[in-house]
Structure 1
Amino acid sequence: VPPPVDPEELLVVTERYRQHRLVLGALRAEFRAEVLQKKRQALLTGEDSAELMEEHRRLMVWNEAENARQRARREERIRKEEEERKRQKLQAAENRARIMEAFLKEKEKEVLQLQEEAKTFITPENLDARIEECLDNPRNYNFAIDKDGRIVKRTVLS
């Protein structure tokens, strides 16, 4: 024989049990909805995934093409810079050669002029002849000049 149950307590217990079942049912429905949502999203993601993979592949191909184009431009620029550098180096070498040639011609001219002047230098061999020549042809450097460089007044040789 079961023990006697208080009717008020039975009412409270049944009400709490009903609320408990309602809460559990609501939780189950919420979890079911979440699982269904995740399944739907996974299906869409699967379709999107293929689409995303295709877009990624397309973008990678474009990126490779762009990289190749940029590489070609960079190589062309480097090649032109190298040619310009070589041209400038050659130009500088030619300029140096021209300057050196002009310098050598100038020095050669100076040497020839000095050799020409050396013919009139007084040496121990021609010392007596030069002394005789100076005594035979006296020169007077005692004169005045004006502002324009003309001889104004000469003194007579004594």
Structure 2
Amino acid sequence: MFQAIIHRGVQVARLLAPRQAVLVEAVRGRKSRTDPVAKSKLGRIKHPPPVDPVEMVVLRERYTDYALILRALRLEFKEAVLRKKYEEETGSLAEEKARQETTEHRALMAWNHQENQRLLQLRLLRIQKETEEAELQRVEADLQRQRQEEEFLRQKEEEVLQLQEDAKNFITLENLDQRIEEVLDNPKNYNFAIDKEGRAVKQTVLQ
């Protein structure tokens, strides 16, 4: 296993090393499994270390007590966790939790109902305001249209009156001779200059 770790480390070093670097694998002075026994250890007999019987008995008793105490603690902790879980699911804690959830649900439903009523009132006020504004705009549009129609009729009446007034000066077959005589009796000379205001500033008599 140690050799596998070393081999893996060498591979990582090769990956991280620069392209032109020279890599040399480190070799420890340890023989392999197939190498023969060293000459200095040919006649050596390996004996296990001595064990004190009294110490062995004491250690065994202490280890037994330690295992029992640790097992008892684990069982006690497990029982406490299971008891708490059982009480949360079926005991008084579960009932209290269910009661709290019911109370919280009722409070949330009441708050939701109040919020819905508040939003309903705001919506009704907004719709009423929009309806009033639309009605006011419609009335203003009707008044504006009525004023435009009245202005149009007034202009048409003025045009009709102006046409009636102008019709008095029209030349017809009945007054043709009379208008010719009036023009001949009252000649007009339009050979004169006017200023920017349209006033005649100079009049030249035709020779």
Same fold (TM over 0.5): yes
**SS in structure 1 of the partner of residue 173 of structure 2:** coil
Distance 2:109 2:147 in 1: 56
Query: How far 1:37 moved relative to its partner?
Result: 2.1
| Structure-2 change in CA distance of 1:144 and 1:30 (3 Å) | closer
| Structure-2 change in CA distance of 1:142 and 1:23 (3 Å) | closer
Distance 1:94 1:149 in 2: 41
Query: How far 1:61 moved relative to its partner?
Result: 1.1
Q: Does 1:70 align with 2:129?
A: no
Write the deviation string for residues 55-104 of structure 1: whole angstroms up to 9, x where unpaired. 22022112102211211111111111111111111111111110221121
User: Alignment length, in residue pairs?
Assistant: 153
Q: Which residue of 2 aligns with 1:100?
A: 149
Write the mapping of 1:1-158 to structure 2, written as runs, cut at 5 A.
Answer: 22=69, 24-41=71-88, 42-144=91-193, 154-156=203-205
Distance 1:146 1:100 in 2: 40
**Deviating more after overlay: 128-137 vs 93-102:** 128-137
| Structure-2 change in CA distance of 1:153 and 1:98 (3 Å) | closer
TM-score with structure 1 setting the length: 0.73
TM-score with structure 2 setting the length: 0.58
Query: How far 1:109 moved relative to its partner?
Result: 0.3
Letter in 2 for 1:31: K
Query: How far 1:13 moved relative to its partner?
Result: 9.2
Letter in 1 for 2:142: A
Unpaired segments ≥5 residues, structure 2 = 1-57
Distance 2:195 2:63 in 1: 141
Larger helix fraction of residues: 1
Unpaired segments ≥5 residues, structure 1 = 1-10
Q: Give the RMSD, CA atoms, in angstroms.
A: 3.4
| Structure-2 change in CA distance of 1:141 and 1:96 (3 Å) | same
Distance 2:188 2:172 in 1: 21
Query: How far 1:140 moved relative to its partner?
Result: 3.0
**SS in structure 2 of the partner of residue 69 of structure 1:** helix
Q: Give aligned-pair identity as a percent.
A: 47
**Deviating more after overlay: 13-22 vs 70-79:** 13-22
